[in-house]
Amino acid sequence: MDTDKAHAALDTVYGAGSTDALDAAHAAWAASYDSETASLGYLLPFLITAWVTRYVAVDEGPLLDAGCGTGAMSIELARRGADVLGIDLAPEIIRFAAEPMPHDTGAGRIEFKVGDMLSREHGAFDAVVAMDSLIHYQRGDAVLALSSLARRTRHAMVFTFAPRTPLLSLMHATGRLFPRSDRAPSIVPVRPEAIAHDIAGRPELNGWRTHRTERVSHGFYTSQMMEIVRS
């Protein structure tokens, strides 16, 4: 049943004809988004948690869930005992993330906040995760965002982007993924080698290296995970 509802919600999101319609579709889906995407096999929060916990003792320093959306990533990290700050620009999404608090987070703690994940006011973190929050950024802007986050990150950053697969690139180029001109924001496909190259060339990311990258595909979903760590 969840699977049917999730497919219907996906159709509404993909069928939105304007930014306002897209925002409304996301807001309408937010309340049940986490359980329904989980029913579609959405594994990313678990995989990212496994990567992050190789570099940080999650029950120690604070972690930033940058662009946290409905909070699935924050909740998974907190379940491992982490102290998490989840930040998102969209107040209506943060309302859904924060509403059912307290989540079943065991020893962990989450604060959800409306704001810009790139703002320095949030302080410093042991690790930052940006799960699908950079997928609408042009590659240069995504690398700038990582450079900004790196200044406040002690150990590791794990982020995802939309891989430049032949199929995705074709759909994107022909407008079939986002067919209407007033559809925004659209997903920007990025080649892993290209973003790794840009990261290596950014002076602010001196002392960081790209460690692992992995494609995650399941059903409706494809994403490319990447981690960069302080060397």
Ligand X SMILES: C[S@@+](CC[C@H](N)C(=O)[O-])C[C@H]1O[C@@H](n2cnc3c(N)ncnc32)[C@H](O)[C@@H]1O
Q: Judged by CB, which is closer to ligand X: 16, or 87?
A: 87
Which residues are 208's β-sheet partners? 230
In whole angstroms, give the CA distance from residue 174 to residue 50. Answer: 36
Shortest distance in whole angstroms from residue 35 CB to ligand X: 13
Residue ranges binding ligand X (CB under 6 A): 67-70, 72-73, 87-90, 93, 116-118, 131-133, 135
Q: Judged by CB, which is closer to ligand X: 101, or 200?
A: 101
In whole angstroms, give the CA distance from residue 103 to residue 179. Answer: 38
Using alpha carbons only, give the angle 194, 195, 196 rounded to the nearest 5 degrees.
Answer: 90
- The residue with tokens 């699977």 is 3
Q: Judged by CB, which is closer to ligand X: 186, or 206?
A: 186
Shortest distance in whole angstroms from residue 130 CB to ligand X: 7
Using alpha carbons only, give the angle 106, 72, 24 rounded to the nearest 5 degrees.
Answer: 140
- The residue with tokens 């986050």 is 149
In whole angstroms, give the CA distance from residue 225 to residue 231. Answer: 19
Q: Judged by CB, which is closer to ligand X: 135, or 150?
A: 135
Shortest distance in whole angstroms from residue 29 CB to ligand X: 11
Q: For residues 119 and 67, is the Cβ–Cβ distance under 8 A?
A: no
Q: For residues 47 and 225, is the Cβ–Cβ distance under 8 A?
A: yes
Shortest distance in whole angstroms from residue 49 CB to ligand X: 13
**Would you tell me how many other CB atoms lie within 10 Å of the CB of residue 116?**
14
Which amino acid belongs to residue 165? Answer: T
Shortest distance in whole angstroms from residue 231 CB to ligand X: 26
Shortest distance in whole angstroms from residue 147 CB to ligand X: 13
**Residue closest to ligand X when measured from CB atoms:** 69
Using alpha carbons only, give the angle 4, 8, 14 rounded to the nearest 5 degrees.
Answer: 140
Q: Judged by CB, which is closer to ligand X: 56, or 135?
A: 135
Q: Judged by CB, which is closer to ligand X: 100, or 193?
A: 100
